[in-house]
Amino acid sequence: MNATFAYVLGIVILIIGIGLSVALHELGHMIPAKRFGVKVPEYFIGFGPRLWSFRRGETEYGVKAIWLGGYVRLLGMLPPASPSRPDKPGSSVAQAREESLGELGPDEQERAFYRLSVPRKLVVMAGGILTNLVLGIVLLAVAMGVVGQPGYTSTLATVSSCVLAERDLTSASQ
């Protein structure tokens, strides 16, 4: 295998590894969110222009061009503004609230993320991190099982010849 091929293969494996890590991280958020009833319209690996996608149920799954992250879009991340502290009209927070809650139909308001209990919100938010932690432990266990650790022994592999000792032996035998 020449060096250029090995180098390119290493880059390809790195990109695929990052993509798989991101995919599993985002699954760590999406699976508990869906189990708790939150509406999840998008699950994408990457950012930028869409390369490929398909819809299954209410969720669109896909891949985008730049594999340096990913996202799961959960509707209702921000609760409606409180009447005592309204958002500034036209602010990005007001727009985010309006867009996120606007996609929930009148009969789906209970599926907003902000309506989950605090422990359930924590499970959804920590799901990605915990997935990465488990992935790291599994990969470390596989690496230790396949590659192993160096074993140190007191057994000599070879004995070096000693020129002085050989000369003394030959002169003594004469």
pLDDT in tens, 22-71: 999 999 999 999 999 999 999 999 999 999 999 999 999 999 998 889 99
Collapse the DSSP code of 71 into the 3-class scheme (helix H, G, I; strand E, B; otherwise coil) and give the result: strand
Specify the pLDDT at position 58. 92
User: Is 58 annotated in the active site?
Assistant: no
Phi and psi of 104, rounded to 5°?
A: -85, 125
The pLDDT > 70 percentage for the chain reads 86
Q: How confident is the model at residue 168 (pLDDT cuts 50, 70, 90)?
A: low
17-26 tens-digit pLDDT: 888 999 999 9
C-alpha count within 13 angstroms, C-beta hemisphere, residue 99: 10
Domain-wise residue ranges, the chain: 3-172
3-class state of residue 160 by DSSP: coil
Tell me which of 26, 60, 98, 110 is the catalytic residue: 26
Q: How far apart are CA 21 and CA 18, in angstroms?
A: 5
Residue 45's DSSP bridge partners are 63, 70
Give the number of C-alpha atoms closer than 13 A to the C-alpha of residue 141, restricted to the C-beta side.
6
In this predicted structure, what is the pLDDT of residue 72?
96
